[in-house]
Structure 1
Amino acid sequence: MIAAICMGAAACGDDPSDGQAPAAASAPVSPPAPGAGNAVRPNRPMPKPDLELTDDDGKPFDLAERTAGRPTVLYFGYTHCPDVCPTTMADLANAVKKLPAADQGKLRVVFVTTDPGRDTPKRLHQWLRAFDDRFIGLSGDFSAVQKAARSVGVSVDKPVKNADGSWNVTHGAQVLAFSPADDQVHMIYTSGTTAQRYIADLPKLVKGEM
């Protein structure tokens, strides 16, 4: 039987005190093993989303094609996010820097914006470079982003502009780890996963041992 648990999600606003309650995103996953922390395995591996967008260099980027056979970490978020997105990117950057140089070059960390109206390729490029200049940012049609996110169990809502000019952007906070062995998700990290957990797991992901 497939178990469904509530995955980490974030209801973010440009003002962190906007008072919006987080929306939950769910995906079929196995219950965490003892000591697993904030990481869960899907009951069945999920393929990479079929997604073609524009990367942060302004060039077309086919996610499945460009990351085929490579260990890949995928996250849906946005650059104006006041908390969970920059924290997650910083934790991943910290973990990547702990890898041997050769393994760092193999890994692909992909950040797909859920706020494409404001996150231009140029803005994504500047924002991601503050974490790691190898991180890949993708922007494009919101409907395509939402469909891709939902295909891997990540909840993404259309950004809403408030009367005061601020924005609410609700998105799942899951980090998805795709194995180079089969290009499918084998581990999902929920909100609150520590840098130490990524440091422990990324070497295994690079080797296809998850």
Structure 2
Amino acid sequence: MRAFSRASFRSSRPTTVGFAGALAAVCLTVSACGGSAAGNATATTATASPSGGTAVRLDRPLTKPELTLTDDHGKPFDLVKRTAGKPTLMYFGYTHCPDVCPTTMADLANAVKQLPEADQKRLQVIFVTTDPARDTPKRLHQWLAAFDRRFTGLSGDFDAVQKAARSVGVSVDEPVKNADGSYTVTHGAEVLAFSPADDKVHIIYTSGTTTQRYAADLPALIRGQV
């Protein structure tokens, strides 16, 4: 299967777009990944979207979705309450993803490491699985720990995840198990940035955004200056 982008954005500064344009921008990059199962392991292959992601600034911020799932420690996690007043980055993906998801998490982890220790502690990075049947809390915890142990993984009811994703314009389809035992998982590949000032999404980072770009933008996000 393949990941594709209908358009690419190139800019050194956030692009300001209207609400309708923002939702279109969010859905520009969709990762559709297929894979084959072998024993307890599943190997997946996909072609990543072209590089060159950027920040899309919204002129109408998006409301944080009401979502309660199970975190990677097996405990209930109310997204709205647990991230209230905190700078938060959120991404919808899955751990068996061969390219977009791990590279995005790696870019974020490398950017976070460049922050002062106090800012590292304030920032929350939330990874919401779009493949909850396979992404158990234990698997999420082990997978995210390879990037940064402070990242939080959430799993639970797929319908709730899909509803939450769609409320912020992210396309998520239910995973499909193919006849050969492989899976196809389709999900948007954007990082949503919630400002601590109002708990809303002001900036959307499209697929391919670099570590350098995140590192440059995160201090302002953490201070609620976006």
Give your verdict on TM over 0.5. yes
Give the C-alpha shift of residue 13 in structure 1. 2.0
Q: Which residue of 2 aligns with 1:197?
A: 213
* Aligned-residue RMSD, C-alpha: 1.8
CA distance in 1 between counterparts of 2:174 and 2:155 reads 14
Could you tell me which amino acid in structure 1 is paired with residue 120 of structure 2? Q
CA distance in 2 between counterparts of 1:112 and 1:136 reads 8
Residue correspondences, number: 195
SS at match of 1:171: strand
Matches within 5 A, 1:1-210: 2-4=19-21, 5-6=24-25, 7-14=28-35, 15-17=44-46, 38-210=54-226
Q: Unaligned regions of 5+ residues in structure 2, if any?
A: 1-17, 36-43
CA distance in 2 between counterparts of 1:148 and 1:38 reads 23
Give the C-alpha shift of residue 165 in structure 1. 0.8
**C-alpha offsets along residues 49-93 of structure 1, whole Å, 9 cap, x if unaligned?**
100000000000000100000000000000000000000000000
**C-alpha offsets along residues 129-176 of structure 1, whole Å, 9 cap, x if unaligned?**
000000000000000000000000000000001111110000000100
Give the C-alpha shift of residue 37 in structure 1. 5.6
Could you tell me which amino acid in structure 2 is paired with residue 79 of structure 1? T
Q: Unaligned regions of 5+ residues in structure 1, if any?
A: 23-35
Could you tell me which amino acid in structure 2 is paired with residue 151 of structure 1? S
CA distance in 2 between counterparts of 1:2 and 1:96 reads 29
Percent identity of equivalent pairs: 73
Give the C-alpha shift of residue 8 in structure 1. 2.0
CA contact (8 A) 1:13 1:82 kept: no
Evaluate the alpha carbon distance shift between residue 2 and residue 89 of structure 1 in structure 2; reply closer, same or farther with a 3 A threshold: closer
CA distance in 2 between counterparts of 1:44 and 1:143 reads 26
Give the C-alpha shift of residue 38 in structure 1. 1.3
Q: Which residue of 2 aligns with 1:27?
A: none
SS at match of 1:68: coil
Evaluate the alpha carbon distance shift between residue 183 and residue 57 of structure 1 in structure 2; reply closer, same or farther with a 3 A threshold: same
